[in-house]
Amino acid sequence: MRLLKEFKKNPMLIVLLVIMLVFMPPALVSPGQNRERGVVIAIGIDKDEDEYEISFLTFIPTPEQSYTQKNSVISGKGETIAKSLYNAEIVMGRKIGLSHAKTTVVNEKLLEDDVSKHIDYLSRFASLSENTIFVCTSSPAKEILTTSSSLQSTVGLQLDEIIAYNAENLYISDTSLEAFYKGYYSRSSASLIGYLSLTDKEGDKGGSAQSTGQGGSTQVDEGSDTSGGESGGKQGGGSGQSQKQITNNGEAVLLKSGKLVEKLSANHLNGINLLNRKSVNQIVTVKDVDYNGGKYDFSYRIKRKRINTATKFQNGVPIYSSHLVLGLELVEIEGEHERLKVNTEFSEMPPQIKKKIDEEIKKQFTEAMNILRKNKADVIGIHNKFFRDNRKAYKKFIKDIKSKDDFLDYVNFKINLELKSD
């Protein structure tokens, strides 16, 4: 009776009781979340003629005393992404949660068509977060996941960490799904995403990195027989036999309206990023420079960058002029001298070195611009700069030309470099 009186006095107690009755019994009898849901940490999407294959690098939480993480690659095939995901869920025996997916790898073939069509279901409906790192590969995406799984177990390096380095130092923007969409919906519908490839362990490791002298990095994997096993659309995946390695040369791919139009080397990326003040640390090498009676190869690191940019329309021509102050640090000298004192004899930057560096940087920029012009892909934001600074003239100019995509062809770049020894 006292209890009833208490309930009458405080009707919220009844509410509390009802809530407990509704929530507690199902919570007690239902299985744990890890039994119902599989946590996906990376996604790979492949496509052959008429079928998608979607692969998941999954992490199934199991109570253990050690910190080791059990990963496995699971895949499903289907005519659509939704169907493939459904089939993968059947293989896994769990619902798939994509909110923890840090990396999404798509096979090059998907980029032959507008890739946004393929990933629409994942990002819009299946809760794939837009901050997932979005990269492209020439190899089957499934194999990349399998290899990355063992990369993690052997050297503790995750795929997203490798790409995050590229994003910070080469692309100078996130290579995320969000960044892809930002480019996709921009005035020139152009985006830039990271590029990885898979090679046999004995294969060519240096790739373009050696030829460009940019010191591309190569991540080595010791095999791919960790937790997968079976392949072919069932649990597990990957070759299981041959030893593969993920090759990261700092390359990227240029997309126009979601389609792959050009592969870009690290050098191209440096050219593209010349006008990006955040982009520093690149190495510029000039060879066979006459200095103090000898010939040397000099390598400088761009330590700091200051940029003043102005845009205008002069006689109906869009002019993009930029004054760059680059603080360069001499990091390496190759020549006849064996014991060179960097801080004394070479602390000054003589005019012949400045001239060569000027030429080298402008050459990189011109090459990069030629690629962007050829593909009508403004990933630098030239359109935006003109729009913001000279809106009226820009709009008029766009009206007068055949297509706004041609705008880059008309822009006259005036780059003035001021090189300082740092």
Partner 1 sequence: MKNKISMRQAGIIILILVFSNKILLLPALMFDFVKGDAVISLIIMLALEFISLPILLKLKSKFPEEHLFDILQKYLSKAVAIIIYMVFLFYMMIKAILTFSIVYVYFKEQIYQEEFVAIALITFLPIMNHAAISGLKPIARTMELFSVVILTGFLFCLGIAVYTPLSIPDFFVASAGKIFSSVYKFAFPFGDFIFLFMIVDKIDYKKEQEKRLYFYTILSFILVITLFTLFYAKYELTSFMHNDALADLLAYSVRFNAIGRLDVIAIVTLLLSTIFQMEIFCYAFCDGVLKIFPLMDKWYAALIFDLLFLLLYYLVIGNYEVIVDATVKYFAPFGIFANFVFPLIVWIISRVKGRKNATS
Residues near partner 1 (CB under 8 A): 11-12, 15, 18-19, 22-23, 36, 97, 102, 127, 129-131, 133, 164, 167, 173-174, 176, 178, 181-182, 185-186, 384, 387-388
Minimum CB distance to partner 1 smaller for 127 or for 211: 127
Nearest distance in Å: CB 181, partner 1: 5
Nearest distance in Å: CB 185, partner 1: 4
Residue 419 sits at φ, ψ, to 5 deg, of -100, 130
Other CB atoms within a 10 A radius of the CB of residue 334 amount to 13
Nearest distance in Å: CB 28, partner 1: 16
Secondary structure class of 395 (helix, strand, coil): helix
Residue 71 sits at φ, ψ, to 5 deg, of -115, 150
Residue type, 143: E
Nearest distance in Å: CB 119, partner 1: 12
CA 173 to chain centre: 8
Minimum CB distance to partner 1 smaller for 168 or for 297: 168
Minimum CB distance to partner 1 smaller for 31 or for 232: 31
Distance CA(53)–CA(406), nearest Å, equals 37
Secondary structure class of 404 (helix, strand, coil): helix
Strand partners, 233: none
Three-point CA angle 166, 252, 130, nearest 5°? 70
**Inter-CA distances, 210 with 59, 213, 214, 216, 250, Å:** 36, 5, 7, 7, 12
Minimum CB distance to partner 1 smaller for 181 or for 413: 181
Helices 11-29 and 2-9: angle between axes, nearest 10 degrees: 100
Minimum CB distance to partner 1 smaller for 106 or for 164: 164
Nearest distance in Å: CB 267, partner 1: 24
Distance CA(171)–CA(354), nearest Å, equals 26
- What phi-psi label fits residue 315: left (phi over 0), alpha (psi between -120 and 50 degrees) or beta? left
Minimum CB distance to partner 1 smaller for 144 or for 164: 164
Distance CA(419)–CA(235), nearest Å, equals 57
Nearest distance in Å: CB 127, partner 1: 6
Secondary structure (DSSP) of 107-144: EGGGGGS-HHHHHHIIIIIS---TTSEEEEESS-HHHH
Minimum CB distance to partner 1 smaller for 95 or for 295: 95
Contacts for 366 with CB less than 8 Å, ≥ 6 apart: 271
Nearest distance in Å: CB 116, partner 1: 11
Nearest distance in Å: CB 12, partner 1: 5
Minimum CB distance to partner 1 smaller for 23 or for 409: 23
Nearest distance in Å: CB 252, partner 1: 16
Minimum CB distance to partner 1 smaller for 93 or for 185: 185
